[in-house]
Each structure stands twice: as structure tokens, then as C-alpha cells.
Amino acid sequence: MSLVVRFLVAGTVIVAISIAAEKLKNPALAGVLLMLPSLSIVSFYFIGKSGGVQAVSDLALAALLTLPVWIAYAASFYIFLQQGFGLMYSLLYSMIIFLSGSALFLVMRGRFF
């Protein structure tokens, strides 16, 4: 399938969910909407179609194993915001935590998984 089609589908889904969450007046409902697996469902679909069930199954397992990294990212983002770092610095610092945790996961993956 064309790379352009994949890009357009994923982009449309993410933008639509972001706009809908932004318009909601209920923060809890907006949070649930933002946590929809929009990127992963599109990725799982296209990888499953092109690489087969085993490829997408391996990807799903890797995604599960990296959940602690994502939780550290989300928690640090919240903490940085609460500590007054501002939006941009909170995003930057929490992304550094995410990338560091991801790198650690990749190094450890070769040893333990």
C-alpha cells in the first residue's frame, strides 16, 4: 500500500481525535479520547496487512513491553507541568525521559528478551 495513503490515514485519524478532544468541556472524557490507540491501530492494521499476523503480533508484544517507558513519559510530563516548567519545557524534558527509557529498553532487549 502506498506510503502516502498510510500517511494520510494516520494523520487524519490523529488530527480528528485531537480536534474532538480539544472541543470537549469534560477533561476526563477528553483524556480518554486522547488515549484512544489511534496511532497503534493504524500501525497494527498496515503492518498486519503487509507483514502478516506474526509481524504485527511481535509489534504488539514490543508495545506491551514498552508500556513502563510510556508511563514514565506521561507521569513526568504531568509532574513537570505541576512544578511550573511550562508546556514546552515539560514536553521537552518528558520526551527526553521517553527517549532515554526507549534506548534503555532497546539495550536491555538484547540481553533479556
Share of the chain above pLDDT 70, in %: 96
Separation CA 73–CA 90 (nearest Å): 10
pLDDT tier at 1, thresholds 50, 70, 90: low
Cα–chain center distance at 70: 7
What is 51-113 written as a DSSP string?
H-HHHHHHHHHHHHHTHHHHHHHHHHHHHHHHTT--HHHHHHHHHHHHHHHHHHHHHHHHHH-
Tell which residue, 49, 24, 42, has the closest CA to residue 34: 24
pLDDT of residue 26: 79
Determine the Cα–Cα distance for residues 36 and 48; give it in Å rounded to an integer.
Answer: 19
**Rounded distance between C-alpha atoms, residue 53 and residue 68, angstroms:** 25
pLDDT, tens digit, 9 for 90 and up, residues 4-24? 887 788 788 778 877 877 787
Banded model confidence at residue 27, pLDDT cuts 50, 70, 90:
confident
Average pLDDT over residues 67-74: 95
Q: Taking residues 88-113, report their average pLDDT.
A: 90
